[in-house]
Amino acid sequence: MSHRLDDVAAYHDREMSPEQNAEFEAHLSTCAECQTDLRAARAALGSYDAVVSARPAPFDADAAMARLRQGQAQARRARLRRRVVWAGSIGLAAAAAVLVAVAMLAGRPAPRPARTQQFAPVRPRAARDGGP
């Protein structure tokens, strides 16, 4: 029998009759090329079978709920941290505004006592214009 990849595939997939199987096994014992192809087919299909037959881990509701609660607690802590930072920032801004106001008031000259305005005496119009 000459080397035939179809025979390797049929042998691998157990599609041969008992006579064909025996004939191919006789050939296989002497053909390095068929042995290599059969090993490659087994490796490739073995990996495929491992992937296909893999089953996900059974669902653990308690563990899922624990992870969910842990995530919620982390989110709560993060929110609280953000609020503290905001409150601190607002407090700092308010303190800075008070300091600026105090500095402005302290730097201002003291208010002068109110002066009475002095106006020139208003003369009647007739006196200015030379009079009638």
Are 57 and 27 contacting, i.e. CB atoms less than 8 angstroms apart? no
Q: Among residues 43 and 75, whose Cβ is nearest to Zn ion?
A: 43
The residue behind tokens 């106001």 is 101
**Contacts of Zn ion in 28-57 (CB under 5 A):** 31, 33-34
User: Which residue among 3, 39, 82, 83 contacts Zn ion (CB under 5 A)?
Assistant: 3
Size of the site for Zn ion (CB under 5 A): 4
At what angle are helices 5-12 and 32-53 packed, to 10 degrees? 40
Q: How far is the CB of 35 from Zn ion (least distance, A)?
A: 8
* Minimum distance from residue 20 beta carbon to Zn ion (Å): 14
Q: Give Cβ neighbours of residue 8 (< 8 Å, ≥ 6 apart).
A: 34, 37, 38, 41
**Which lies closer to Zn ion via its Cβ, residue 13 or residue 33?**
33
Of the candidates 37, 49, 39, the one whose C-alpha atom is nearest the C-alpha of residue 7 is 37
Region binding Zn ion by CB under 5 A among candidate stretches 26-34, 62-70, 83-91, 97-105: 26-34
User: What residue ranges bind Zn ion (CB under 5 A)?
Assistant: 3, 31, 33-34
